[in-house]
Structures are given as C-alpha cells and as structure tokens.
Structure 1
Amino acid sequence: MKQFEVASIPGDGIGIEVVPQAERVLKAVADVHGGLAFQFHSFPWSCQYYIEHGVMMPENGLEQLKPFDAIFLGAVGDPNLVPDHISLWGLLIQIRREFEQVINMRPAKRLDGIQSPLQNPKDFDLVVIRENSEGEYSTVGGRIHSKEDEVAIQNAVFTRRGTERVMRYAFEVAAKRKCFVTSATKSNGIVHSMPFWDQVFKEVSEGYPAIKTESQHIDALAAFLVTKPASFDVIVASNLFGDILTDIGAAIMGSIGIAPAANINVNGKYPSMFEPVHGSAPDIVGKGLANPIGQIWTAKMMLDHFGEEELGSFLLDAIERVTRKGIVTADLGGAHSTDEVTTAIIDELYNAPSV
C-alpha cells in the first residue's frame, strides 16, 4: 500500500469550498484502486490567518511543509482583507521560490460537453510549460526620485541554467505526447533576453532530433491560440509570456474555473505544489456556485506527478463523462452545485471499469 502525505492549504474564498471536494475525489480514486491512500494535513494559512497573526503563514511554515510528498493549494487572496502583494508574496510565491518550484505546468484541453467560446475549437489538447522562478518576474529593480522625476526600473533576469531547464522539461513532456514544441519569443522587440532565449532553444532542440520545433512571437502566438489552438502540443515560455498564454488557454476551454496548474520542483529537495488557476472568487463564496473541476483536474496532475499516470487518466475520463452529461456549474451554463458536480464525478469513478 502506497500512502501519500499531502499538505492541504485551502486558503481563501472558494478554495475553502473546492479543496475538500477534491480531497473526496482523491479518496474515491484510492478506494477504487485499492493500492494507495492519501493522508491530508490541513493548514489554515490564508488572509484570515494574516488578520489574526500578522503573517500569511508562521515563521517555520516552510519547515512544516518540507516533509510532505506534495502541497495541495486552493486559492490565495482576498483584497477586502489583505492587499494582493502581501497575500501572494507571503504564501504562494514564497512557497514557489523557496521550494525551487521552477516549472509551472498548465494544460488546456477541449472537454466533452463544455462549450468553448470559439466557433470551431476542434479537439485542442495542449500544455504550456512556463519558467517559474526568474524572467520578467524577477525582483531586481527599483524606483528612484519622486513626482515628475520618478523612475521605475524592472529588470528581467534570464539565466542559462533556468532557461535550459525549462526547455529540457518541455521537450521531455513533448516526447510523451505529440513530439512538438513551440517556443514563445519576442526577439524582434526585446533585444537581449529574447535572442538569448532563441539561442538556447535552438541548442537544446539539437539534443531532441525526433521532436519537431517552431518559434512564434508572443503576439502572433496569442492570436493563434484563439484561431487554431488544435495546432499546438507543448508550448515553452518565459514567466510573463507563460502567465498570459495560460489564461488564454483557460478562456478557450470555456471557463477559468476548470483550469489546473502544477508548480514542479525538479531536484527532489522539496515538495511540488498543485493549484487551480481560478483564484479565490470572493463574489461567489458560500453560494455553492464554485466549479470544483479546476481543483479536481489539479488533483489529476498530482496523481501524474506521483507516477500514477494511469489513475490520472482514469480521473480525467470521469470528469469528461460528467461534463458530457451536462452536469456542470453556472460558470459553464449549468445549474448544478459544487457538491453535485463532485458527487457525480465520484459516482463515475465507482461505476467505471477499474484501472
């Protein structure tokens, strides 16, 4: 019996609602499989925790998380309580950076029964591999002077190590999929970092001769994600470009409420973290409207990370059988509650042929 110890951080807003639902699903997966188990350890770190303690997590929070096999995060942020730059940098980004979660991975796929806003989306199935530790989101820079003389400088930092690492990861993912990698660049406008990015991409690609490659400028690539998303397989991108492209990916699926994400530690020193893309959505808290699919699909990614890829596919198939029946929440045009959608997925897990 394999048992996975998971640190569960529901966080803020609808995170408190969808994380327990996804935990129910994972326990059902384990029950159906019979050869594994999940032990969830819940941590109350959130904006409410900040109001009570003055910090988003305790001083030894990272030490508390370090022994776990993975971190399962719901959502971070409630601007009515705590400014976003405090809540995000005090919890989410601190975990990403200190635990060297240098890869962000977000799939986008047309799910049966969910209407894409695109007129003819075809059966797109892609994944964006985003550099998660440097690039345009570095903290190098600052502001000087005041009023009319004020200057703000934000430095993008691209290291060869970080750039090669995310690209090699993308090629390894592509090797298990359709063997096609697209590089997001902007070397015609950003004259130092992006030509460097292109050079490293060319060098790394030479080590993967069986994988087809292309480079696309970010503006054209964003447009192509809307006009022909089925033409992509794996997209590798810098921190900022990947952030933008993945929100487009969520949008063309039909709702940001179904989009999953993984923050991957590749050296094995620290746990990886799994979180949906949707955020805390404070406007629908407590109404039973939250879409649990983003958190449940995120659980599928955690199964994949644990080496249980067959079980991950089993779970995603169950999700699609439910969406195919029209059992969806209001953001997808349905009338079902958070609990009803989750229960329907669990029923499919028990009724489907076992893996």
Structure 2
Amino acid sequence: MKIVTVIPGDGIGPEVVESALRVLEALGTDLAPDVLDHVNAGTYRREGTALSEADFARIAASSATLLGAVGDPSLEHTDYVRSVLLRLRLGFDLYANYRPVRLWHDRLSPLRDAAHRGIDCAIVRENTEGLYSGVGGAVHPSSPWETAIDADVSTHHGVSRILDFAFSVARHRVCMVDKANAVRSGGSLWQRCWEAAAGRHPGVAASHLYIDAAAMRLVTDPGSFEVIVTNNSYGDILSDLAAALAGGIGLAPSASLNGTTGFGLFEPVHGTAPDIAGTGTANPLGAILSAALLLEHLGYDDEARAVRLAVGGAVAAGRVTPDLGGTLGTADATAAVLAAL
C-alpha cells in the first residue's frame, strides 16, 4: 500500500480534489489517501500557521502529495500561500515544475489556423530560484522615494539540474528559453549551463529562443515544441499561455518534482477561484489529470493512460463544464469521466 497525502486547500480546491479522489478510487489501486483537510486559510487565521511540523512529517512519510489549491482573498497580503507552497517546494526541494499541455479537442483551441492547433508539449520550469525566491526588499515604503528590489537568483547547480531534467523527459527535442540578450549575468549563466547540458545529451536536439520570441512561436506554431525549459517566472507565464492554447487553465495539470529523491507534489494549475467556489461549476479535469500524473509517477502507467483516455472521451462528447463549452456541473463532469473510465 502506498500513502498519498491529500491537501484539498481553499476555494474550489476541495471540490476538484474530491473528483480526483473518486477517479483514483474507481481504479482500484493500492493507493491510500491521507487527507489533510485542515491545511487551509481558516487554520492559518486561527493559529497563524496552516502547515504544521506534524503535517510536514506526514507528507514526508508519504509516496506523493495531491493538492487542490491554496489562497484566500482576505489573506492576500500575508505569507499564507508562501507558507504552504514555498514550504513544500523548498522543504522537499521540488526544483522541477513539469506542466504537460495537450489539445484534447480541436474545438477548444482559440487559434483559427487548424494546421497549427495541435499543441502537445511540456513546460519544464525551474521551481526554487528566479524572481520568486524572495530575495530583495524595499526602502522608504509608501513614499515618493520608495525603492523596491526583487532579485532574480540563478545558481549553477540549480540551472544545471533543471536543464538535465528537461532532457530526461524529452524524446526528441528541448528548447531553452531565456532573455540573455538583456539579463546579462543570469543569462550568461543559463547559456553556459545550456551548452554543457546539450553536450551531455547529444541524442536530443537542442535549440534556444528568447522569451519574447518563444511566446510568439507558441501562438503561431505551438506544435513545433516538445519540451520547453526555462526559469521560474518565464515558465509560469509560458505555461499559462500554453494552457490557454489547449482549451484553458481548467484543463491544465502540473507536477513539482525532485528528480533525485523522486518525491512529487501534483496539483491543477488553476487557483482557488473564490468567485465560483461552492457553486458546483468548477472544472475538475485539471485535478483529475494531475492525479493521472501522480499515477504515472508512482508506476501506475496503465491506470494513468486509462484516466487520460476517459478525460479525452468526456471532452470529445462535450460532457464538460461551461468553461469548455459544456453545461455540466462539477459532479456531473466527474461522472462523465467515471463513465468513460
């Protein structure tokens, strides 16, 4: 038996996680969920922390973690989200954020040229450094002389290992994205590490684009990419753009991984969506596809394939939520996947 810790979180998180758990249960595997439904904004407001040391130990003892979403508009200016997400990413050194993107049906693409709609790629994003590392500060706050600095941190170790990870998940080609022509110091480090990584993986075609050119290429010819590897902030932006090209963020799964220890955190890309929380209209497919990534990561390849086929069948039949052009609520959209499964 393998224990999977589950953090439903806030907003629509508990709703979509329930859908994912129903799918996992239907597969009849030996996975056993350990649900931490108290790790949320309510706990943070009452106790000043949401993820305790005991919670962290339970997660560490598990095989993987499934997360719904964390965040609360009333806590926007606190460190609540960082205290959960960054604690997990940094505590388990989940340096590789892997976001596969696939167009599940032609009708979902916003691109008018049918020949260029077939996106099927992965964004590999460095997950522990970059602009989101929290290095920086401000002086003279809330005054005309306020100066704010956020440092874009890149290390040789961090850049090298994310590049190697990207090559490890690619079959044919990897494109590294940076802005070395404008961001000189970090760009030079990425370029040198890229040249070395490409030399270590001669069987995979290596190419390079600046971030602005990569964004344009994603829109004009998304099918030309297989694996894109980039830093934290660029990867955040490109993966959301790629998700939009594949039908929307409600379909987008992700995995935050440590390529050495094998531990992984799996979550839909979407946030807590407080505007629709409790309405029963949240799209469960991002969470269900994140569960498929979890299955695959733990060695349940056939089950992961079955889940993706079931999702594809439900999407093709139009048995989906309104954001994908359907009329179903969360529960009925989940039932459609279970029926296809």
Q: Does 1:6 align with 2:11?
A: no
Counterpart in the other structure of 1:310:
302
Q: What SS class does the counterpart of residue 193 from structure 2 fall into?
A: helix
Counterpart in the other structure of 1:254:
247
Counterpart in the other structure of 1:16:
14
Q: Alpha-carbon deviation of 1:307? A: 2.0
Shift in CA distance, 114/78, structure 1 to aligned 2, threshold 3 Å:
farther
Q: Alpha-carbon deviation of 1:113? A: 5.9
Q: Alpha-carbon deviation of 1:89? A: 0.9
Q: Is the 8 A contact 1:21 1:342 kept in 2?
A: yes
Aligned 1:169-184 pairs, distance under 5 A = 169-175=165-171, 179-184=172-177
> Which residue of the other structure, out of 95, 99, 102, is the alignment partner of 1:106?
99
Q: Does 1:345 align with 2:307?
A: no
> Which residue of the other structure, out of 182, 187, 197, is the alignment partner of 2:180?
187
Q: So what's the TM-score if we normalise by structure 2? A: 0.95
Counterpart in the other structure of 1:46:
40
Q: Alpha-carbon deviation of 1:123? A: 1.8
Q: What SS class does the counterpart of residue 131 from structure 2 fall into?
A: coil
RMSD after superposition: 1.5
Q: Does 1:199 align with 2:195?
A: no
Q: Does 1:331 align with 2:326?
A: no
Counterpart in the other structure of 1:28:
26
Counterpart in the other structure of 2:122:
127
Q: Which amino acid aligns with 1:79?
A: P
Shift in CA distance, 149/287, structure 1 to aligned 2, threshold 3 Å:
closer
Q: Which amino acid aligns with 2:21?
A: E
Q: What SS class does the counterpart of residue 175 from structure 2 fall into?
A: strand
**Residues of 2 paired with 1:113 and 1:155: CA distance?**
41
Moved more, 326-335 or 84-93: 84-93
Counterpart in the other structure of 1:352:
none
**Residues of 1 paired with 2:49 and 2:286: CA distance?**
27
**Residues of 2 paired with 1:56 and 1:158: CA distance?**
29
Q: Does 1:117 align with 2:110?
A: yes
Counterpart in the other structure of 2:161:
165
**Residues of 1 paired with 2:83 and 2:166: CA distance?**
29
Aligned pair count? 337
Gaps of 5+ in 2: none
**Residues of 2 paired with 1:84 and 1:331: CA distance?**
29
Shift in CA distance, 90/168, structure 1 to aligned 2, threshold 3 Å:
same
Q: Is the 8 A contact 1:108 1:127 kept in 2?
A: yes
Q: Alpha-carbon deviation of 1:189? A: 0.8
Q: Which amino acid aligns with 1:214?
A: S
Q: Alpha-carbon deviation of 1:253? A: 1.2
Shift in CA distance, 85/101, structure 1 to aligned 2, threshold 3 Å:
farther
**Residues of 1 paired with 2:92 and 2:4: CA distance?**
15
> Which residue of the other structure, out of 297, 300, 313, is the alignment partner of 2:289?
297
Q: Alpha-carbon deviation of 1:84? A: 5.4
**Residues of 2 paired with 1:4 and 1:116: CA distance?**
38
Q: What SS class does the counterpart of residue 283 from structure 1 fall into?
A: coil
Counterpart in the other structure of 2:228:
235
Gaps of 5+ in 1: 350-355
Percent identity over the alignment is 37
Q: Which amino acid aligns with 1:63?
A: A
Q: Alpha-carbon deviation of 1:136? A: 2.0
Q: Which amino acid aligns with 1:26?
A: L
Runs of at least 4 residues off by over 3 Å: none
Q: Is the 8 A contact 1:71 1:274 kept in 2?
A: yes
Counterpart in the other structure of 2:218:
225
Q: Alpha-carbon deviation of 1:137? A: 1.7
Q: So what's the TM-score if we normalise by structure 1? A: 0.91
Q: Is the 8 A contact 1:4 1:69 kept in 2?
A: yes
Superposed CA offset, 1:28-75 (max 9, x none)? 12x2xxxx3221111121111212222222243312311011111000
**Residues of 2 paired with 1:87 and 1:140: CA distance?**
18
> Which residue of the other structure, out of 144, 150, 168, is the alignment partner of 2:146?
150
Q: What SS class does the counterpart of residue 284 from structure 1 fall into?
A: coil
Q: Is the 8 A contact 2:251 2:285 kept in 1?
A: yes
